[in-house]
Structure 1
Amino acid sequence: MKTFDAIIIGAGQAGPSLAGRLTAAGKTVLLAERKLFGGTCVNTGCMPTKALVASAYAAHLARRGSDFGVTIDSPIRIDMARIRERAATVTQNARSGVENWLKGMERCTVVEGHARFAGPNEIEIDGERYGAPNIFINAGGRANIPDMPGIDQIDYLTNRGILELDRLPEHLVVIGGSYIGLEFAQMYRRFGAEVTIVEKGPRLISREDEDISEAIRQILEKEGIRCVLNAECISFRKADNGIEVGLDCDETSNVVGTHVLMAVGRRPNTDDLGLDKAGVETDARGYIKVDDRLATNVPGIWALGDCNGRGAFTHTSYNDYEIVAANLLDGGDRRHSDRIMGYALYIDPPLGRVGMSENEARKSGRPLLVSTRPMSRVGRAVEKDETQGFMRVIADAQTRRILGAAILGTGGDEAIHGILDMMNADADISTLQWAVPIHPTVSELIPTLIGDLKPADRQ
């Protein structure tokens, strides 16, 4: 058995950077990757999908040219093969960068193959055994496919398969009204497909406040996307002209699409790692249980990224690496519970979110201050003729600390960082209120938003 100081399973966002820190500290590292270097973000997540979002935005803006006094003589046409090629190039370049970095890293041995635990300090890859006192699991996740009637009788797409399409679907039916589903729904509508979103719950993205969900529904429907809510009994069957999706328990309502995208959440890649042989505990959904420092119940084994259930984002995975590296190599005491969660929904306009929603803050029982401002009163949005959405800040009336914020509007995914930084600095709201931001920007309205904070019961 070959031995190392550390073994890393998976080359997603946390694994390569951790390998870099460990090898720089003089440690020998084995990094095992069974398929694609770079993980979900590089291969089937952020990078290719945001490349597609950019292409969809270009098509949308071109169609709106006359609104800006720009005349395009020829009709707008979509070249899906070129769009796919562009996204694939973005992915390939990033994947090659990660792979070349790891394979050229001193003291790092890269083995391509499926790693499984053979014991608490051992893994096996293609019949070869490797041991280390420290093992870090960065196995990622994949699309969750629930057991729905007829699902095994149809060919469906996931976030991975839809990236391979080089022809435009005539009618895309998206199952799931959350982040992944909404992004693909809007981009394919802008490419020219008919799109229907089917959501089991009463509203889209149920974790957000009701008015945000409603505003997003209106944005999508304005572009011609059909949203079917309260579809409690979703079923599938083959039809002569595509796939018939049943929408209710009585099977009296349905929609027929040429393609179906399953976007109903994610599941961790932990079911085939041999975790039982190492004694590593998982929860009912398969996520690896970790403590506040991302250690599992087995000494010397940590879990980072999507497989630990502590955040399903590229930035939280990278922060997992930062926490583990700081604690092991820098004498730190960093914890994932100290992390202030921020994220974005990349429809157009995007939703930038940090901290608590207003609903969550109200349930906490704290005395609240709330301020909401429509994007139609943001000069930058008016100048760009992109005034859909609104921005909101929630603060604790006693501590005068920001609890959360949402910016649904142009530039919201970037502007939210001003609030995120203030929350991380644990600053009083007056600190941000008296900042002097650049004009004209979306961010310049944040001090005004802070200045308009009022008790929640007066909203």
Structure 2
Amino acid sequence: MSLKHFDACVIGSGQSGTPLASALAGSGRRTCLIERTHVGGCCVNEGCTPTKTMVASGRVAYWARRAGEERKRDIVKSFREGGEKRLQAAGVEVLMGEASFVGPKELVVKMEGGGEKVSADLIFINTGERPSRPNLDGLESIDPARVLDSTSIQELEEAPQHLIVLGGGYIGLEFGQLWRRFGSKVTIIQRGPQLLPREDPEIASCILSILQEDGIDVLLNTSPISITTTPSNPISLTLKPPTGNPSTISGTHLLLATGRTPNTTSLNLPLAAIRTSPRGHIIVSPTLETSAPGTYALGDVHGPPAFTHVSYDDFRIIRDNLLATPEPSPSALHTTAARAATIPYVCYTDPQVAHVGLHLAEARKLSPPRKLRTASMPGTWIARALETDETRGMLKAVVDGETGKILGFSAVGPEAGEVMAVVQMAMVGGVGWEGLREMVFAHPSWAESLNNLWGVLREDDGK
């Protein structure tokens, strides 16, 4: 097996790996990209692009009681092929295979019909994460076609008769509501006391009510004990409820939405002196460099927050620090610390759940302590919501009572992500809550609700 040497090698073509490979090649470096499955990574092929396309079809089914043409595969194909064409145009050599280290700066790539040995002066790891499987007694005995994860559930040709969802996080809620709208009976099982554990309890309670209104059964403080199958019940799940004796629930399909695992096992990272966390995430510096000099990790593989937009910003950090001409001074480096306070995210249920900044519980833990004020109002107070008959939802904000700065904002609503982005811009630009109260927004728009939210601003009583 001959050895190919490159100036730079990117392992994995996710939302940071693909543009990084193009940028490296564009800077004059001989660059290779190693991808074992498909260009575009999780977001394009199994994550944001296909799931949100399906959610849009689910919305059509919900409102019109008919699902239009299934568009997911065509859109995924279009996005993936676009990425492949951009890599080709940039001059990146793409090796379709699985990479593993055999030493510092040296890799073996297992490919169909053989393999390649690759070395590079710079190595970038962008291998992402995969759905994890819980340690559940009896799980391996169940028909694999009925045990689904966030990838395989998208390939179902028919709606399950009864889908049981393990996990009340973003994936569990999005797919649970989607298949309910496609006609399935859906039960969501959550170990903790609320759905979306990261969220403010008031926000979590709001989305719980909405899902229940949509006909979804939600079991909180409930843990799976074991699973069996019988001729009449393909999925028979024994549960430990909050009180009382164990109970049993039967269904036709089981969605495992219990977290994700970093794709680091097959990389043989110790051979490259690359350190990982106990969960297997690669440990990186604020500039994304690993414990091995000249080797970097981007995206979900280095741990939370695991969002596509964070992965793309990882690419920007590498681009600004390594490809800038002239090189930036240490004090001018673009780092992960700069974005920490205003990382946004959206759960694409319908209505959406969006957040940026601190939750109230987090703001209460600030040191030194702050004088806090909060504002919360229901969707029934929003003109646009009343006009479109989409009043399910709410807004909530946390502000610094002394400076007027917005510390955090959450929204549940049809365009919650877009409203949240307006508040994010205000936070980044130093515009306080009074500035949003006096802003002239177009009428009627969802953002116009930001004029009215502050009318219920009150002192936080710590309860």
TM-score, normalised by the number of residues in structure 2:
0.92
Within a 5 Å distance, the mapping from 1:242-391 to structure 2 comes to 242-248=234-240, 252-330=246-324, 331=328, 332-339=332-339, 340-364=342-366, 365-391=369-395
Match of 1:71 in 2: none
Match of 2:171 in 1: 180
Whole-angstrom distance in 1 between the partners of 2:173 and 2:306: 17
**In 2, are the aligned partners of 1:142 and 1:267 still within 8 Å (CA)?**
yes
Query: How much has 1:188 moved relative to structure 2?
Result: 0.5
Whole-angstrom distance in 1 between the partners of 2:259 and 2:401: 36
Q: Which residue, out of 3, 6, 9, partners 1:4?
A: 6
SS of residue matched to 1:211: helix
Whole-angstrom distance in 2 between the partners of 1:22 and 1:310: 25
**In 1, are the aligned partners of 2:189 and 2:223 still within 8 Å (CA)?**
no
Query: How much has 1:200 moved relative to structure 2?
Result: 1.2
Q: Does 1:416 align with 2:400?
A: no
Partner amino acid, structure 2, of 1:247: L
Query: How much has 1:210 moved relative to structure 2?
Result: 1.1
Q: Does 1:58 align with 2:35?
A: no
Whole-angstrom distance in 1 between the partners of 2:462 and 2:314: 40
Whole-angstrom distance in 2 between the partners of 1:379 and 1:35: 47
Q: Does 1:105 align with 2:90?
A: yes
Query: How much has 1:100 moved relative to structure 2?
Result: 2.1
Match of 2:41 in 1: 39
Whole-angstrom distance in 2 between the partners of 1:40 and 1:244: 31
Query: How much has 1:402 moved relative to structure 2?
Result: 1.1
Match of 1:131 in 2: 119
Match of 2:444 in 1: 440
Whole-angstrom distance in 1 between the partners of 2:414 and 2:443: 15
- CA 1:428–1:168: 2 relative to 1, 3 Å: closer
Point out where structure 2 has 5 or more consecutive residues left out of the alignment: none
SS of residue matched to 2:314: helix
Partner amino acid, structure 2, of 1:87: K
CA RMSD of aligned residues (A): 1.7
Within a 5 Å distance, the mapping from 1:113-128 to structure 2 comes to 113-126=97-110, 127-128=115-116
Partner amino acid, structure 2, of 1:26: G
Whole-angstrom distance in 2 between the partners of 1:293 and 1:148: 39
SS of residue matched to 1:282: coil
Query: How much has 1:378 moved relative to structure 2?
Result: 0.3
* 1:130-162 Cα distance to aligned partner (Å, 9 max, x none): 111111100011101121111111121001110
**In 2, are the aligned partners of 1:292 and 1:337 still within 8 Å (CA)?**
yes
Query: How much has 1:213 moved relative to structure 2?
Result: 1.2
Residues 232-241 or 263-272, more deviating: 232-241
**In 1, are the aligned partners of 2:289 and 2:295 still within 8 Å (CA)?**
yes
* 1:26-73 Cα distance to aligned partner (Å, 9 max, x none): 11111000001111111111111111111111111114xxxxxxxxxx
Q: Which residue, out of 113, 124, 128, partners 1:140?
A: 128
Q: Does 1:206 align with 2:210?
A: no
Whole-angstrom distance in 2 between the partners of 1:458 and 1:281: 41
- CA 1:310–1:333: 2 relative to 1, 3 Å: farther
Query: How much has 1:344 moved relative to structure 2?
Result: 0.5
**In 2, are the aligned partners of 1:311 and 1:317 still within 8 Å (CA)?**
no
Match of 1:405 in 2: 409
Match of 1:393 in 2: 397
**In 1, are the aligned partners of 2:26 and 2:90 still within 8 Å (CA)?**
no
Partner amino acid, structure 1, of 2:318: V
Whole-angstrom distance in 2 between the partners of 1:447 and 1:318: 32
Query: How much has 1:232 moved relative to structure 2?
Result: 2.6
Query: How much has 1:233 moved relative to structure 2?
Result: 3.9
Whole-angstrom distance in 1 between the partners of 2:304 and 2:402: 29
Point out where structure 1 has 5 or more consecutive residues left out of the alignment: 64-75
**In 1, are the aligned partners of 2:374 and 2:396 still within 8 Å (CA)?**
yes
Partner amino acid, structure 2, of 1:244: S
Match of 2:432 in 1: 428
Match of 2:226 in 1: 235
Whole-angstrom distance in 2 between the partners of 1:416 and 1:299: 38
Match of 2:72 in 1: 87
* 1:53-105 Cα distance to aligned partner (Å, 9 max, x none): 11111111114xxxxxxxxxxxx5x57xx53xx11111111111112221232
TM-score, normalised by the number of residues in structure 1:
0.93
* 1:401-428 Cα distance to aligned partner (Å, 9 max, x none): 2111001112111111001111122333
Residues 253-262 or 354-363, more deviating: 354-363
Q: For this pair of structures, how many residues does the alignment match?
A: 441
**In 1, are the aligned partners of 2:22 and 2:86 still within 8 Å (CA)?**
no
Whole-angstrom distance in 2 between the partners of 1:310 and 1:181: 18
Whole-angstrom distance in 2 between the partners of 1:307 and 1:167: 33
Whole-angstrom distance in 1 between the partners of 2:453 and 2:273: 51
**In 1, are the aligned partners of 2:224 and 2:237 still within 8 Å (CA)?**
no
- CA 1:251–1:112: 2 relative to 1, 3 Å: farther
